[in-house]
Structure 1
Amino acid sequence: MSQLSFFSAESVPPALADLTGILAAQGQVVQVAGAARLSVVVEALWRAEALAEMIADAGLEPEIARTDENTPLVRTSVDDRLVGIATEWTRGAVKTVPAQWLPGPRELRAWTLAAGSPEADRYLLGLDPHAPDTHSPLASAMMRIGIAPTLIGTRGARPALRISGRRRLLRLVENVGEPPENPEALSQWPRV
């Protein structure tokens, strides 16, 4: 058993802002009649279940469904408390990154749950291929918290921030905390 880091996601109380990590990945936010909803399509059910737990911890009602392609989808209930996030993360109908956004431990955990994957001795945090203007600001935000990534795949269908090097990986691992209790999660979780 590893020791809980002072900076890990488990040491920070849940908040609505945690869910912005979903938007750093391929998540979407839509405004609906004075309220908003966050949603994200993920590659595996364990990811949807862990994100649903984070949504519930933040005080919202989660829903897990399937897309037409039978891929897991997790979303929040429509809630007026999400309007601020929707306003900050969109310009018109285009997803954008707020200028001062910095991913804290729980935001990094949500991002890792939504789109994290190992790559040999490195780790990838997936980006939204449909929102290329968010890629560089997200890389900058990661640099400002001391995890300098490399932006990769910007011309392909799987853009990501690659985190490499022992110190950077250790910082990511310390922030995101322990993996969900699922065997599949363990193989997809960052480690040093």
Structure 2
Amino acid sequence: MSQLSLFSAETEDPAIVDLAGLLAAQGQSTHMAFGARVSVVVAARWRAQAICDDIRATGLEAEITESEEGSPMARTEANPRLTALHRRWSAGAVKTVPEAWAPSPRALRLWVLASGHPEGAHYVLGLDPHAPDTHGPLATALMRVGIAPTLVGSGGQHPALRVTGRKRRTRLLETVGGPPPVAEAYASWPTP
């Protein structure tokens, strides 16, 4: 039997700032006349659905669309309530990690939903291959919440932070909580 973490995604109220977990992965934010929008292209429809559910829990509207390549994409409505998040994660047209950012449990859960998957004995959190300057700061951000990762694939198409060791994987699982209630999610979720 595992002990419930006091700092778990399952014990915190959803907040718009948690959508930063999508930006830590391959998500993007754009600013438009009606506010900002956050979107993320994912590998499977169940991921897009779970992300939309979490977005709606913050009080924003969300929808699933398709990327130009035909992959599922979860995105928020354009809303002025997202403008501050967009500004914190942008330096002009370039994605950046806010100074001293540490992912909340719900932000980390969204990161797992967007790009997490097991890789042998490790668990991997995907990074944005188009924003290489974010990789080091995101590794540091994970360390701030007690999960020390290893940066892998930084020069390729699939950069990621690898979480190795039972203690770190358990910490990740305790933080993000259980998977969405769909069969495909269980195979992609962190395990101790």
Equivalence for 1:184: 184
Structure 1 SS opposite 2:18: helix
Q: CA deviation at 1:102?
A: 0.5
Q: CA deviation at 1:88?
A: 0.3
Structure 2 SS opposite 1:59: coil
> Is 1:90 the equivalent of 2:123?
no
Distance 1:51 1:191 in 2: 20
Moved over 6 A (4+): none
TM-score by length of 1: 0.97
Equivalence for 1:29: 29
Distance 2:109 2:86 in 1: 20
Equivalence for 2:103: 103
Alignment of 1:52-71 (within 5 A): 52-71=52-71
Count of residues paired in the alignment: 192
> Is 1:164 the equivalent of 2:164?
yes
Equivalence for 1:132: 132
Equivalence for 2:7: 7
Alignment-mate amino acid for residue 102 of structure 2: L
Distance 2:3 2:76 in 1: 32
Q: CA deviation at 1:4?
A: 3.7
Q: Is the 8 A contact 1:34 1:83 kept in 2?
A: no
Q: Is the 8 A contact 1:26 1:129 kept in 2?
A: yes
Distance 2:170 2:2 in 1: 13
Q: CA deviation at 1:7?
A: 1.8
Considering only aligned residues, what root-mean-square deviation do their CA atoms show, in Å?
1.1
Percent identity reads 56
TM-score by length of 2: 0.97
Deviations 1:27-78 (A, max 9, x none): 0000001510000000000000000000000110001011232210010000
Structure 2 SS opposite 1:100: coil
Q: Is the 8 A contact 1:25 1:126 kept in 2?
A: yes
Q: Is the 8 A contact 2:97 2:137 kept in 1?
A: yes
Distance 1:5 1:69 in 2: 39
Deviations 1:157-186 (A, max 9, x none): 000000001111111000000000111100
Q: Is the 8 A contact 1:97 1:137 kept in 2?
A: yes
Deviations 1:92-123 (A, max 9, x none): 00000000210011000000000001011110
Change (3 A) 1:160 1:49: same
Distance 1:57 1:149 in 2: 29
Q: CA deviation at 1:18?
A: 1.0
